[in-house]
Structure 1
Amino acid sequence: MSTTVAFEKARAEGRAALIGYLPAGYPSVDGSVTALKAMVEAGVDAVEIGLPYSDPVIDGPTVQAAVEGALKAGTTTADVLRVVEAVAATGAPAVVMSYWNPLQRYGAAAFARDLAAAGGSGVITPDLTPDADDTWIPAAREHGLDTVFLVAPSSTDQRIAMTTAACRGFVYATSVMGVTGTRDQVGDAAAGLVARTKATTDLPVAVGLGVSNGAQAAEIAAYADGVVAGSAFVRRLLEAPDHAAGVASVAALAADLAGGVRTR
């Protein structure tokens, strides 16, 4: 099931879609499933499931801390696929957020096959550009998976057009230059980037990096098709006194953000 389903549902309701991220395996494989399901129940339309990797170059300290915890706990790619299967069973599209190295080591064709078998919708590849590899896109197409690439404020119009042509599902627009992490304000460049991106594609455009509350979600929902939140959810788990409290906290944040995307 493509992530476009979530965007179509949101559009029919006159709002933006809400996408939430957590890494698989933190604080445990089952614990991440519980938290992700709570997010869906509280209003998240689609989920990004992070594949833990030892060199997360665009992730800030919050996500890095959780990813390190997942790796220390022994989380494997097979575990990530198990998380995808469990979350996809809720009916919400589940996409994997992964750096290219783990997918390359697993094998592009094999990963596409196994992700599709698990019910996954696609992959967001933050460090892979469409012209940097000739194996992933054909493998994803063969198995009907979304290929979500990133555009940034620094992207030229030509680069944006090349990137969106290779995207399926949606386009991920990064609101600021830099690593992930919650911010007091979403970058001013985001609205302009969305407009430039929409000029090249009919695909939905979602904005991420820095979203931490309902007010910010509402601000972005005024001009984007989707709002992505990640570090804010991870922080709720990291700072909770126990996992049950963490799950309740991420559900509360999901509800706040879900309210935000409905006040565009």
Structure 2
Amino acid sequence: MTSGVHVRDAVLRRAVDLDRQPEKRQPILGAFSVAGYPNLRSGVDAFVTFAESGAGMLEVGAPTADPWLDGPAIAAAHGCALRAGDGVSVTLETVRRISTRCDTPVVVMSYWSTIQAIGPQRMADELASSGVSGCLVPDVPPERVEAWVAAAVEAGISAPLLANRDASYAELGDICRAATGFVYAPAVGGQRTGYSAGIDLDGLAAFVRAVRGLAPSTPIMTGIGVSTPELASAIVRQVDVSAVVIGSPLVRALHSDTDGLHQTAGVVKEFVAALAAGGAA
């Protein structure tokens, strides 16, 4: 494998960082759904629709039996996808199919239990072979972070990590310095996806500044609780992030009894327009 940052990691960084120049501050939209939801073919169609509608990054959730970070809508999608087959296999096949239809960077979001069951190096290698740019693991045990990041580097993909808002400064520093590709800074602390009770923008801005100080050259994404386009626009006006990620609004639209793909396309376009308006403010 090549040393340093692999080409796929470089592509991901360019997509989310935009060189950090003032005239190129337009944050991108990351669009999340669960691999295999509502089924393999329709799930792939959904991700391609996200990309065609303006999403700058696709986040593919690896189905798991215990999605502890996810709220009801996404947790139900995990359960639906698992009923159709093995979560890892459907994730890899989803990424392979997406990669043949669009060139938008793909990041897999996987819980540590899945990584541990397969083995970190094998999982990283299989993900790389499928075409991912990186794999976000929100719950890597502190004592396994170094080994996981090394496995990702060996495979040639990035290893984004979640910056826990409840972590000590020392723990936060370890995570931020270890992460490659980007750092995921939750918009709210202690909440699951689908949270819709509002976001403390001042608190989020302060947290992102702390992360930026610990990892000045690493792009920062935020998500969880970004329930409306208006809130996404407010975030990018006030908070220095390279991307905003949404998931629950898309999964709920896919679950609609009417044309789910058409609805998700509309949701993505609304959020992309909101980010553009906020970034231009």
Alignment-derived partner of residue 109 in structure 2: 97
Structure 2 counterpart SS, 1:82: helix
Counterpart CA distance in 1 for 2:33 and 2:214 is 30
More helix by percentage? 2
Select which of 216, 228, 247 maps to 2:261. Answer: 247
TM-score (norm 2): 0.88
Equivalent residue number for residue 198 of structure 2: 185
How many residue pairs are counted as aligned between the two chains?
A: 261
| Structure 2 partner of 1:228 | 245
Q: Of 219, 242, 249, which aligns to 2:234? A: 219
In structure 2, how many angstroms separate the alpha carbons of the residues matched to 1:38 and 1:9? Answer: 23
One-letter identity of the residue aligned with 2:210: R
SS of 1:169's partner is coil
Distance in 2, Cα, partners of 1:39 & 1:113 = 26
- SS, match of residue 244 in structure 2: strand
Structure 2 partner of 1:37: 48
* Matched-pair contact (CA < 8 Å) for 2:149–2:179: no
Distance 1:213 1:39, change over 3 A: same
Q: What SS is found at the alignment partner of 2:210?
A: helix
Q: CA 1:153/1:167 → structure 2, altered by over 3 Å: closer, same or farther?
A: same
Partner of 1:135, secondary structure, is helix
Q: Out of 198-207 and 81-90, give the one that drifted further.
A: 81-90
* Identity within the alignment, %: 30
- The gaps in structure 1 that reach 5 residues or longer are none
**8 Å Cα contact 1:213-1:256 kept in structure 2:** no
Specify the code of the residue in structure 2 equivalent to 1:7. Answer: V
Amino acid at match of 2:253: R
TM-score computed with the length of structure 1 as normaliser: 0.93
Displacement over 6 Å in runs of 4+: none
Closer/same/farther in 2, CA of residues 10 and 208 from structure 1, 3 Å limit: farther
The residue correspondences of 1:1-264 to structure 2 (distance < 5 A) are 1-2=8-9, 3-9=12-18, 13-89=24-100, 90-176=102-188, 177-188=190-201, 189-201=203-215, 202-222=217-237, 223=239, 224-238=241-255, 240-242=256-258, 245-263=259-277, 264=279
Give the letter for the 1:178 counterpart. Answer: Q
User: Do the aligned partners of 1:24 and 1:49 also contact (CA within 8 Å) in 2?
Assistant: yes
Distance 2:29 2:110 in 1: 19
Root mean square deviation, CA, Å: 1.7
Mapped contact 1:39–1:251 kept (Cα < 8 A): yes
